[in-house]
């Protein structure tokens, strides 16, 4: 009896292993948006914030994802670096890095911003986390020299670490009063929708990288 039942036991174990493997493979892709008020949803209802709208758009495209809002209003690149380990938990598959706008608004030294963002991406890639760097442009009232030092930071960091790049997070929204709050800097819910539509192909490319690991 033992010899005859042995093959059935083996088959049963294989089925259990395959089933467990299938469940593991079915886990949603976890994307953390590490950012500031632009992505956190400043003064917006929770359902209109960038991570929520992005998750909904991705699910409508058939992606099994969870998008986590790790945005902190007023955060600089230094602040993002200091909270990196607890803002991006170990089970994170990918990060959208949206930091740097407050550095420019405060006129902080671009070299320092570069160091902080570079270290964030370096640490994430060392953990096996895929990264999409969302770029920012310096306010032009800071002068051409500041812009020349600040604007290229994001593309150069992405290239150095093999990360993906979305050149300008506020593309299609900046300088459009109807898509921004009264302060002229933070997107409305409709403005966030524009950002999501524009960035979606880049985020899908990010998800593809996770799936290829």
- Please indicate, yes or no, if residue 47 is contained in any of the structural domains: yes
pLDDT of 123 above 90? yes
Q: Active-site residue 63, yes or no?
A: no
Q: Is residue 199 part of a domain?
A: yes
In a domain, 40, yes or no: yes
Active site residue 37: yes
Active site residue 186: yes
Domain range enclosing 75 = 27-212
| 22 is a domain residue | no
Catalytic residue, from 36, 37, 63, 75: name it. Answer: 37
Domain count across the chain = 1
Q: Please say if the pLDDT value at position 19 is more than 60.
A: no
Burial (CB count within 10 angstroms: exposed 0-12, middle 13-18, buried 19+), residue 129: buried
Domain membership of residue 108 (yes or no) is yes
Please report, for the domain that includes residue 80, its CATH number. Answer: 3.40.50.1110
Residue 3 lies in a domain: no
Cβ atoms 31, 93 nearer than 8 A = yes
Q: Which tens digits make up the pLDDT trace of 61-107?
A: 999 999 999 999 999 999 999 999 999 999 999 999 999 999 999 99
Kindly state whether residue 17 falls inside one of the protein's structural domains.
no
Q: Looking at 77, 93, 103, 186, which residue is catalytic?
A: 186
The pLDDT score that the predictor gives to residue 16 is: 42
The whole-number pLDDT of residue 9 equals 43
Domain membership flag for residue 36 = yes
Residues 91, 145, 183, 213: which is the catalytic one? 183
pTM of the model: 0.88
Q: Label residue 212 by pLDDT band (50, 70, 90).
A: confident
Sign of CA dihedral 62, 92, 34, 144: negative
């Amino acid at each position: 009896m033992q010899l005859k039942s042995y093959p059935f036991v083996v088959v049963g174990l294989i089925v259990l292993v395959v089933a467990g493997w299938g469940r593991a493979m079915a886990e949603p892709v976890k994307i953390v948006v590490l950012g500031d008020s632009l992505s956190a949803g400043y003064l917006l209802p929770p359902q209109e914030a960038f991570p929520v709208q992005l998750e909904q758009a991705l699910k409508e495209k058939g992606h099994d994802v969870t998008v986590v809002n790790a945005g902190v209003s007023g955060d600089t690149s230094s602040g993002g670096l200091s909270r990196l380990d607890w803002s991006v938990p170990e089970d994170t598959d990918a990060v959208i890095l949206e930091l740097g706008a407050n550095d420019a608004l405060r006129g902080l030294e671009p070299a320092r911003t570069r160091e902080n963002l570079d270290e964030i991406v370096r640490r994430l890639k060392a953990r096996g986390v895929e990264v999409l760097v969302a770029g920012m442009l310096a306010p032009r009232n800071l002068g051409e020299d500041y812009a020349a030092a600040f604007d290229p930071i994001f593309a150069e960091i992405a290239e150095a670490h093999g990360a993906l790049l979305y050149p300008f997070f506020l593309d299609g929204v900046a300088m459009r009063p109807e898509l921004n709050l009264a302060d002229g800097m933070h997107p409305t819910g409709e403005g966030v929708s524009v950002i999501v539509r524009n960035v979606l192909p880049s985020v899908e490319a990010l998800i593809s990288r996770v799936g290829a690991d």
